[in-house]
Structure 1
Amino acid sequence: MSGVTILMVDDETEILKLMEIYVKNEGHTLLTASHGLEALDILKTRKVDLIILDVMMPHMDGIEACMKIREENNTPIIMLSAKSQEIDKIAGLSIGADDYVTKPFSPLELIARIKSQLRRYKQLNSQSARNDNEIQIDELVLNVASHKVTVAGAEIKLTPREFDLLHTLAINRGLVLSMDKIYTEVWNEPFMESKNTVMVHIRKLREKIEKDPQQPQYIKTVWGIGYKIE
């Protein structure tokens, strides 16, 4: 898999120079930025196939940058951090990152992670292209054309609003959607302190599609941010 463009965001110049050598050896192009704001500017004008984000950076750190990117972009993201605590890993993955590598790291390990994420992303896109009318997430299947939803083969009766809500989460699989983003997309009107409306519909949807609504398999809560489908 050659000819892809990777954006690496890190304020350590030596790391950027080192990874540029390894990335070029794989036949890829490496774009670099020293903080999140610079990365966002690059993404406005360049198509990028994968993003590597350091957590600790000036101006805008990796966590905030990841959240901003995920508002409109599902490009694979690998987080880098000198911190090894589990809570840092959870924080990075919960806001939309696809993988996490702890510094100091082996360049060869990072290259392997890059290859893995690019393969996974290509497979997901290929599956989506083959069947635009159907979305499958484990045992949950949505047919967009018929508005039919099944879980483990059993049909689930949803209201049109519940289907639109589930569909919005499903097509943004892996991304954390805020309350206002969900409301704007599903209700198609400005968000006006409508958190309760979203929460009530999420609760009803979970009661229909989840085996245990208290420990949901599909619709996950990301506390303080919103919801996502894993």
Structure 2
Amino acid sequence: MRVLLVEDDEPVAESLRRGLLRYGFEVAWVTTGGAALSHREPYDVVLLDLGLPDTDGLDVCKALRERSDVPIIVISARSDETDRVVGLELGADDYVSKPFGVREVIARIRAVMRRMQPRTPNGAESAADRYGSRLTIDRKAARVRLDGEEVALAPKEYDLLAFLTEEPGALMSREQIMEAVWDANWFGPTKTLDVHVAALRRKFAGVITIEAVRGVGFRLEIANEGDGGAR
């Protein structure tokens, strides 16, 4: 999926760009409204900051909507309800307030794209990714099933599982995980990560293993039949 990122704050843009690239998105980054309106390469969704140096992002939103139906997600530090309402009335499809996490933005992108797509005929479920013979993750519906039964997960438990299973066997640092699952600008203790890892180990014992690598992070593996689930 091709993303046009319109953001003049370099640290925010770079963090978001890295996160999107890690999840397989193609990202074209521009820093002004003028550059966004003159961008000629095709894109599937726009992430639009309102506080641009050359023009108000709301004007850019209006201009983009007048020329196409491409989904527009506003990302802004403006938390005033008026800006939200005006942005949506001008054609934005969603609004994310700063600070935000990469996973939240990706979830919003996927939700907007689902709304743009026709429903699957006959009510068929969207395709789910399978991990071994027992675990499936339907990322479009944000549902996890174990032995065919849906597993109740807290939002961050789901986000953590979805992130770690994207590359089974890969060692993920604590910083990578916190950036992807919690907040792109997360600073401070990461004890909450250990708590959520412990919860996943309990709920998926015998299905996955999550190995703690001291001083680095975690590695998720799909367990062989009969293996234990925690390390």
Which TM-score applies when normalising by structure 2?
A: 0.50
Asked if 1 retains the 8 angstrom alpha-carbon contact of 2:20 and 2:102, the reply is: no
1:30 equivalent to 2:27? Answer yes
Which of these residues, 57, 63, 81, is aligned with residue 58 of structure 2? 63
Q: SS at 2:42's partner residue?
A: coil
Partner Cα distance (2:118, 2:6) in 1: 25
Partner Cα distance (1:77, 1:123) in 2: 18
Asked if 2 retains the 8 angstrom alpha-carbon contact of 1:35 and 1:61, the reply is: no
Q: How does 1:101-180 map to 2 (within 5 A)?
A: 101-123=96-118
Asked if 2 retains the 8 angstrom alpha-carbon contact of 1:55 and 1:80, the reply is: yes
Counterpart amino acid of residue 46 in structure 1: E
Counterpart amino acid of residue 33 in structure 2: G
Counterpart amino acid of residue 47 in structure 2: I
Asked if 1 retains the 8 angstrom alpha-carbon contact of 2:3 and 2:27, the reply is: yes
1:46 equivalent to 2:41? Answer yes
Asked if 2 retains the 8 angstrom alpha-carbon contact of 1:19 and 1:107, the reply is: yes
Asked if 2 retains the 8 angstrom alpha-carbon contact of 1:78 and 1:101, the reply is: yes
Which of these residues, 76, 82, 86, is aligned with residue 91 of structure 1? 86
Q: SS at 1:101's partner residue?
A: strand
The runs of 5 or more residues in structure 1 that have no matched partner are 128-230
1:50-71 alpha-carbon deviations (Å, 9 max, x no partner): 0010011111221010111111
The root-mean-square deviation of aligned C-alpha atoms, in Å, is: 1.6
Deviation at 1:123, TM superposition (A): 2.6
Partner Cα distance (1:92, 1:47) in 2: 23
Deviation at 1:20, TM superposition (A): 1.4
Deviation at 1:112, TM superposition (A): 0.7
Partner Cα distance (2:11, 2:83) in 1: 24
The runs of 5 or more residues in structure 2 that have no matched partner are 122-231
48-57 or 80-89: which moved more?
A: 80-89
- Which residue of 2 is the match for residue 19 of structure 1? 16
Deviation at 1:28, TM superposition (A): 1.2
Identity %: 35
Partner Cα distance (1:115, 1:39) in 2: 22
Q: Matched residue pairs, number?
A: 121
Q: How does 1:197-216 map to 2 (within 5 A)?
A: none
- Which residue of 1 is the match for residue 204 of structure 2? none
Q: SS at 1:69's partner residue?
A: helix
Counterpart amino acid of residue 35 in structure 1: T
Partner Cα distance (2:106, 2:38) in 1: 25
Deviation at 1:117, TM superposition (A): 1.1
Asked if 1 retains the 8 angstrom alpha-carbon contact of 2:76 and 2:97, the reply is: yes
Asked if 2 retains the 8 angstrom alpha-carbon contact of 1:54 and 1:81, the reply is: yes
Partner Cα distance (1:118, 1:14) in 2: 26
